[in-house]
């Protein structure tokens, strides 16, 4: 029978004695590198939160609406080489940035008040005189006759070319 050595016991925890523990009033000196790392981490967290807000915001999908909102917010409507989805993402980021500063609501409310003040013009039609209607009908009849002649001529040319090619090949 083989005997194994006895198992070692883990060392017992003993609290430090006679000044071994640090006092609460002691201040830690943070190195410059550590401060820079902390600032980078803080900026990264703020950027992550801004991206989350941008993703959660209701941004219009219509390209015309996106351009209008960018115009209202005072940003460039189109950047060089920018497509619709990139423009929409830029609007979402801009709105998230402004939302942090609580400027977005103020700007949008001011624009809505301006829009309410503007007078909306609608397209409307009026019936013209009978002579105008008759003249337009005559022009349409004349044009359709000429178009029919052009189509027949084009079809004859196409048929002639097909016949010619068939004779040349055989």
pLDDT in tens, 93-145: 887 777 665 666 666 666 665 555 555 567 777 788 999 999 999 999 999 99
Find, among 54, 89, 49, 97, the residue nearest to 73 by Cα: 97
- Residue 108 sits in the same domain as residue 57: yes
- Residue 148 sits in the same domain as residue 86: no
- Residue 109 sits in the same domain as residue 152: no
- Residue 55 sits in the same domain as residue 106: yes
Of 35 and 167, the structure prediction assigns the larger pLDDT to 35
- Residue 109 sits in the same domain as residue 164: no
Residue 155 clears pLDDT 60, i.e. is over it: yes
8 within a domain of the structure (yes/no):
no
Overall domain count for the chain: 2
**CA-to-CA separations, 130 to 124, 125, 135, 156, in angstroms, rounded:** 19, 15, 9, 40
Of 40 and 29, the structure prediction assigns the larger pLDDT to 40
- Residue 112 sits in the same domain as residue 140: no
> How far is residue 142's CA from residue 28's CA, in Å, rounded to a whole number?
96
pLDDT band at 147 (very low <50, low <70, confident <90, very high): very high
96 near 54, Cβ under 8 Å?
A: yes
**CA-to-CA separations, 131 to 94, 101, 124, 137, 149, in angstroms, rounded:** 57, 64, 21, 10, 28
126 within a domain of the structure (yes/no):
no
Other beta carbons within 10 angstroms of residue 155's beta carbon come to 10
**CA-to-CA separations, 27 to 23, 24, 30, 34, 84, in angstroms, rounded:** 9, 8, 9, 15, 54
Domain that includes residue 84, residue range: 33-117
- Residue 105 sits in the same domain as residue 67: yes
2 within a domain of the structure (yes/no):
no
Of 139 and 18, the structure prediction assigns the larger pLDDT to 139
85 within a domain of the structure (yes/no):
yes
> How far is residue 57's CA from residue 49's CA, in Å, rounded to a whole number?
12
Mean pLDDT, the chain, rounded, equals: 77
- Residue 146 sits in the same domain as residue 91: no
């Amino acid at each position: 029978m083989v005997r194994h050595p006895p198992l070692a016991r883990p060392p017992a925890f003993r609290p430090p004695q006679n000044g071994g523990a640090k006092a609460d009033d002691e201040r830690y000196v943070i190195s410059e590198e550590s401060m820079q790392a902390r600032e980078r981490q803080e900026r990264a967290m703020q950027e992550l939160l801004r991206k989350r807000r941008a993703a959660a915001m209701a941004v219009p999908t219509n390209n015309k609406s996106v351009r209008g909102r960018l115009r209202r917010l005072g940003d460039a409507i189109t950047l060089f080489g920018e497509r619709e989805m990139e423009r929409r993402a830029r609007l979402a980021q801009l709105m998230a940035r402004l939302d942090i500063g609580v400027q977005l609501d103020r700007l949008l409310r001011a624009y809505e008040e301006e829009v309410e003040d503007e007078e909306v013009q609608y397209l409307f039609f009026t019936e013209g005189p009978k002579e105008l209607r008759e003249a337009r009908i005559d022009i349409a009849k004349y044009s359709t006759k000429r178009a029919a002649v052009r189509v027949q001529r084009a079809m004859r040319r196409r048929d002639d070319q097909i016949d010619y090619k068939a004779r040349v090949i055989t």
